[in-house]
Amino acid sequence: MRETRPAAYDSKIEGNVIFTRLDAAMNWMRKNSLWPMPMGLACCAIELMATAASRFDIARFGAEVMRFSPRQCDVMIVAGTVTYKMALAVKRIYEQMPEPKWVIAMGACASTGGMYRSYAVLQGIDQLLPVDVYISGCPPRPEALLEGLMKLQEKISAEPSFREQKRKLMEQLDEVMA
């Protein structure tokens, strides 16, 4: 009878090692430490602030570190009415965020223009940015934003982040070599 033995057993690290896929581990780290870019443009920003405050406590989901520098952010929460005057500034801030990055369109205005069928309002931020999660409401309650954040976490945990990254890297290398 063959004897099965662990490949490299070390009693010092017993119980401290888990085996997982690299993607799963990276996504787990990413989704539980989403640093939001609070793009507060109108009244939705008040609900965004309420979500960050103690009663609703977005820190329970690891997203409490509101950064006002786009270079330190993972997820942009577009909270409010995006006017045409502000639209390209929002896009610029999004482009300054490092990859990987996600966008939450919070509320009716950011999703579709909301009640502003107007000459001055962009009819949804998805005309400029790739939106991952839309949240309905005018404004959405903090619970809705938390639900949207959890939906985004689910989405992130299903992403083939590392595999895709490697495949893209190989393609880029092939292009450079060719």
Nearer to another protein, 88 or 150 (CB): 88
Nearest to 109 by CA among 96, 95, 131: 131
Nearer to another protein, 9 or 119 (CB): 119
CB of 123 to another protein, least distance (A): 5
Nearer to another protein, 112 or 153 (CB): 112
CB of 111 to another protein, least distance (A): 14
CB of 117 to another protein, least distance (A): 5
Q: Please enumerate in sequence order all residues whose Cβ is within 8 A of that of 84, keeping only pairs 6 or more positions apart, or say none.
A: 120, 121, 122
56/170 Cα distance (integer angstroms): 43
Residues at the site binding another protein, with contacts judged by CB under 8 A: 84-85, 87-88, 113, 116-121, 123
Nearest to 111 by CA among 100, 126, 99: 126
